[in-house]
Amino acid sequence: LGDSSSGQTSFARWFVRRLTQTLLLNGQYSNDYGPLRIPILIRIGQALIILDGLDEVPVSNQRSEIINIVENFVETYVQTPKGVSVFDNVYLSKLLDDPSRSEGNQLIITSCIVGYHAATLVGQFSHYTIRPMNMEYMKDFIDYWFFRVHQRIIDTLDLSLVNQGENHGEALKKELENIKHTALLDVASNFC
């Protein structure tokens, strides 16, 4: 969950990219699964499903229908090894099993806070909120971003240059400190 443009989609894309790179790098999976294998992976409990932008469904009855489909999917395919789902009795399920330790299918859903609360998922889902960055985190992000971009250019073009990302980052950080309007700071605190 997060405010509009606070990075939910960027997080989902980053997460998928990192997971895919790790799995391929470690040789755990090949890249030839294709769409026909997805139902098989779901049935055997080895899938990560990411639904990005639940709040972006414009028509309320369509959103309710999607929420119903998601809840049915979770009830059927996202359970702990002992068969506990997020819809089971909270007290009983904590005695029997911990739903957050599921070894089967996993589900990540992104949404803006306002849109999500207009039509929420029922059940004991874990919720996490992406918060806007404070000035310190914004500066760290700028340093990291400029360094990575410069390094990627150097590596791609096979150049023998010193990474100048820090110099460019300093100029942007000075501009950031001079922002007087709170609306601009709000935008700057959500880089994604």
pLDDT digits (tens, 9 = 90+) for 3-41: 776 778 888 888 888 887 777 777 666 556 566 677 888
**Residue-wise pLDDT tens digits, 74-85:** 888 887 666 667
Q: Do 107 and 139 belong together in one domain?
A: no
**Residue-wise pLDDT tens digits, 125-171:** 778 888 877 888 888 888 888 888 888 888 888 877 777 777 778 87
Query: Sorting pLDDT into bands at 50, 70 and 90, what band is 175?
Result: confident
Chosen domain end from 118, 147, 173? 118
Q: Do 30 and 102 belong together in one domain?
A: yes
Q: Please state the domain count of the chain.
A: 2
Instruction: Write the CA distances from 9 to 4, 19, 29, 85, 192, integer angstroms.
Output: 10, 15, 25, 26, 8
Q: Do 151 and 71 belong together in one domain?
A: no
Which pLDDT value is given to residue 133?
76
46-50, 98-102, 130-134, range with the lowest pLDDT: 98-102
Question: Does the pTM of the predicted model rise above 0.95?
Answer: no
Q: Do 114 and 141 belong together in one domain?
A: no
- Domain span including residue 154: 135-188
- List, in sequence order, every beta strand (DSSP E) within the chain: 48-51, 106-109
Is the residue at 126 inside a domain? no
Is the residue at 2 inside a domain? no
Q: Do 47 and 107 belong together in one domain?
A: yes
Chosen domain end from 118, 144, 176? 118
Is the residue at 89 inside a domain? yes
